[in-house]
Amino acid sequence: MTMQASPSEPSTPDLASRPLSSDDVATAHARQLRAGWYRQHARTIVTTAAIALAVIVIWQVWRISEANALATVRRIGDERLTLYASTVDGALDRYRYLPFVLAMNPAVQTLVRDGGGNDRVNVYLETVNARAGAAALFVMDIHGQTLASSNWSEPLSFVGQNYAFRPYFRSATAGEAGEFFAIGVTTGRPGYFMSAPIHGPTGILGVAVVKVDLDRLQADWSEGGETVLVSDENGVVFLSSRPNWKYHSLGPLSADTLAQIRARRQYNHTRLQPLDYAAPHRGVPDAIRIDGDEFIERSHPLSQPGWRLHYLSPMAPVREQVLGAVGIATVSTFLLVVFALYLRERRARQRSRDQAREAMALRALSTRLQAEVDERRRTEHELRSTQDELIQAGKLAALGQMSAAIAHELNQPIAAIRTFTASGERLLELDRREDLAQNLRSVSQLTERMALITGQLKTFARKSEGRNRPVALREPLDAALALLDGQIRAAGVTLTVEEPAPGLTVNGDPVRIEQVLVNLLRNGLDAMKDAPERHLSVRIARDAEDAVLRIRDNGHGIAAGAMTQLFDPFFTTKEVGEGVGLGLSISYGIVADLGGTVRAHNNTPDTGATFVVRLPLIDTPPEPTP
Ligand code: ADP
């Protein structure tokens, strides 16, 4: 039964088995195009990606190394700032008490109160300063006139000078401690002035001042090779490790500010020009440029109002460090790229070598295969010609055998006829008519026998003219048994016929099936010739789609070496004159024509052989025999 899918069955969306649409084809085509494009441009893509990667790596190295270098520079700058701020403060703090001490000295007070000789105070101040180490100590009256000074004996003595215009003087006369940085109008040397009021019974009578020299600090900074500046509240640089930047402003000064500074004569007659100062780096907020040199600037307010300490680290080492790192990164990347290219090249060379080797191996293999094919062809050709020769030889041998058999069969009656004819002539001379008649009868019998032999040959050679039709197997079997009935009886054979399922029908020509059965039954009878008891059994049974007919005898069985040649034409083990070896060969051909098989085996453990004919069954009942 054939299985059919019912039309109502839901169709499953099986993508794998659905037919390809034009969209699929277009997508596949596009994919192919894309793959081709990628293959073609692989080198460009890889190179571009490598360059991009290298640029990114170098840029990152640049960024990171710059950030690191800047961080280090800033840290060092901040540490220095803290240190120098404390040294500036320390340098000034050392003297801060001194104006008060001077102001409280009775001799000083007497001098500012009563005037008169200042010798004592001059000596006192000189002595104190010899210990204190300030630039100068001096005492002014309430009008700003210097009455006594530690440098009274030097050419540029302050004694007699008036410093009423100085802010530190004004602060002190107002009752407060004053502090002020300025270039000395007398000496032309810069210094930090710290003042204190000198109190008398009637109020402030004068001012005591300490001038501190800060040049020492600058010298230390310069010796350390560092760039350090101190600017005042107006942005004027008044201390600097670089002398040429001193008394320049960090930015332009307004006219008012300038006028104010001039009035205080703070920086004497210096021009206070602005430095060539700029912030060049957009990415680095604390980068500056002064006079064309780039620095990282860290600054810190000092305890003096408006004062700022600046620590400038040169940018060049940062640049060098960054450039060094970038250089190393570039060289490394370049080496890496060269190495990668070398590896790629080596791999490509290796691949092409492998390919060449494979191609060579393939070529060798193909040559060998070709040689083998040629060899096979030659062998086949030789075999075929040998086979042809063998067939030819076999045919000739068979023909010889057959001729011998036929000659033998016919020779006997011919010889007998010749004898009868010769004796017939003699009998005629003697006029023995009776004997002659007997003689002629014998001749006639002999010719009949000869006709029988040739007739038999003809029977085997003849082709049935009948057409195939449904045949109940029992029908040709009965016909064959009837034909052999005489022989069966004469030989005293016990015959058994079994047909468990009667009416088994095959398609075929009944005459030819009968020929097959006659041949097999006759062979059985021949084989049992010398058996003490002869049993021949025939059984027709069904096996699946086939009708199976077995003919079994208890004769001598099939000779050992004969099994493989049984069905060959002209193969016989019988005496000359008894068989020509055509029966089984013809039977085999007939059964094969009907789509069946015929096989033989010896009976075990009994003696004899069994021939099994297998023919395909048909359902149609047989036509009634006319
Ligand atoms: P022929 O009978 O002329 O020899 P066949 O082709 O019919 O030719 O048989 C070939 C040979 O097969 C016989 O010579 C015989 O050796 C062997 N043979 C056939 N049938 C039997 C049988 N029933 N028992 C033993 N041998 C057999």
Higher pLDDT, 600 or 385: 600
DSSP 180: E
CB 468 within 8 A of CB 509: yes
Q: What is the pLDDT of residues 326-361, one digit of tens each?
A: 999 889 888 888 898 889 889 989 999 999 999 999
Q: Please report, for the domain that includes residue 103, its CATH number.
A: 3.30.450.20
The H or E element that residue 222 is part of is: helix 215-223
What confidence score (pLDDT) does residue 11 get?
43
Residue 120 lies in a domain: yes
Q: What is the pLDDT of residues 503-553, one digit of tens each?
A: 899 999 888 899 899 999 999 999 999 999 999 999 999 999 999 999 999
pLDDT mean across residues, the chain: 86
Does 323 fall in a domain? no
Distance between Cα 538 and ligand 1 center (Å):
17
From 159, 189, 213, give the residue that closes a domain.
213
The residues facing 293 across adjacent strands are: 290
262-321 pLDDT, tens digit each: 888 888 878 888 888 887 666 788 888 888 888 999 998 988 888 899 999 998 888 898
Does ligand 1 have an atom closer than 6 angstroms to the CB of 572? yes
In a domain, 407, yes or no: no
Percent with pLDDT over 70 in the chain:
89
Q: Domain boundary residue among 191, 213, 235?
A: 213
- Percent of all residues in the chain with a pLDDT value above 90, rounded to a whole number: 42
pLDDT of residue 398: 60
Structure tokens, 136: 């100068």
**C-beta 569 within 6 A of ligand 1:** no
Q: How many domains does the chain have?
A: 2
Q: Is 585 helix (H, G, I), strand (E, B) or coil?
A: helix
Instruction: pLDDT band for 620, please (50, 70, 90 cuts).
Output: low
Query: What is the spatial distance between Cα 151 and Cα 210, in angstroms, rounded to a whole number?
Result: 12
User: pTM of the prediction?
Assistant: 0.49
Residue 8: is its pLDDT beyond 50? no
* Rounded Cα gap, residues 281 and 318, in angstroms: 13
> What distance in Å separates the CA atoms of residue 253 and residue 250, rounded to the nearest whole number?
9
Establish if 293 belongs to a structural domain: no
> Tokens 């007699």 appear where?
160
- Interval 140-173: pLDDT, tens: 999 999 999 999 999 989 999 999 988 899 999 9
Say if residues 101 and 196 touch (Cβ distance below 8 Å): no
Name the domain boundary from 182, 213, 244.
213
* Residue with CA nearest ligand 1 atom 20: 523
Quick one: which of 271, 287, 362, 395 has its CA closest to 66? 287
Ligand 1 site, residue 527, Cβ cutoff 6 A: yes
- Tell me the best of 517, 572, 575, 598 to mutate to test the pocket of ligand 1, counting ligand atoms within 8 Å of each CB and taking the most: 572
Cα 390 from Cα 522, distance rounded (Å): 31
> Cα separation of 607 and 557, whole Å?
6
Residue 586, both tokens: 């013809």
Q: Whose CA is nearest to atom 7 of ligand 1?
A: 583
Q: Is residue 67 part of a domain?
A: no
Residue 431 has pLDDT above 70, yes or no: yes
77 lines ligand 1 (CB under 6 A): no
Q: Quick check: is 486 in a domain?
A: yes
CA of 360 to the centre of ligand 1 (A): 62
Nearest ligand 1 atom, CA 608: 24
DSSP 8-state secondary structure symbol assigned to residue 617: B
* Phi, psi dihedrals of residue 231, rounded to the nearest 5°: -115, 155
88-118 residue pLDDT tens:
888 889 999 999 999 999 999 999 988 878 8
Amino acid at 125: L
Q: Give CA–CA dist 560/298, Å, rounded.
A: 121
Rounded to 5 degrees, φ, ψ at 8 are -80, -10
Owning domain of residue 570: 467-616
Q: Whose CA is nearest to atom 2 of ligand 1?
A: 579
Cis-peptide, bond into residue 605, ω within 30° of zero: yes
The Cα–Cα gap between 413 and 452 comes to 12
Three-state DSSP class for 86?
Answer: helix
Q: What's the CA gap between 618 and 71, in Å, rounded?
A: 106
Residue 247 contacts residue 274 (beta carbons within 8 Å): no
What are the tens digits of pLDDT across the range 189-222? 888 999 999 998 889 999 999 999 888 888 888 8
Q: Strand 505-508 and strand 248-249: pairing?
A: unpaired
Mean pLDDT of 1-10: 41
- How far away, in angstroms, is 231 Cα from ligand 1 center? 140
Ligand 1 centroid, distance to 562 Cα (angstroms): 9
Within 10 angstroms of residue 597's Cβ, the number of other Cβ atoms is: 13
* Domain assignment of residue 162, yes or no: yes
CB-CB contact of 526 with 597 (8 Å): no
Which segment of 120-129, 284-293, 497-506 scores lowest on mean pLDDT? 284-293
Whether 341 is covered by a domain: the verdict is no
Cα 292 to middle of ligand 1, angstroms: 129
Rounded Cα–Cα distance for residues 391 and 378 (Å): 20
Ligand 1 neighbour 524 (Cβ under 6 A): yes
* Residue 625: predicted pLDDT: 52
Please answer whether residues 251 and 237 qualify as being in contact, where contact means their C-beta atoms are separated by less than 8 angstroms: no
Q: Is 409 near ligand 1, meaning CB less than 6 Å away?
A: no
Mutate to test the pocket of ligand 1, among 523, 535, 568, 601 (most ligand atoms within 8 A of CB): 523
Please give the torsion angle defined by the CA atoms of residues 420, 426, 431 and 433, in that order, rounded to the nearest 10 degrees: 0
Q: For residue 513, what is the domain's CATH number?
A: 3.30.565.10
609 close to ligand 1 (CB < 6 Angstrom): yes
Distance CA 230, CA 239 (A): 5
Q: How far is the CA of 10 from the centre of ligand 1 (A)?
A: 65
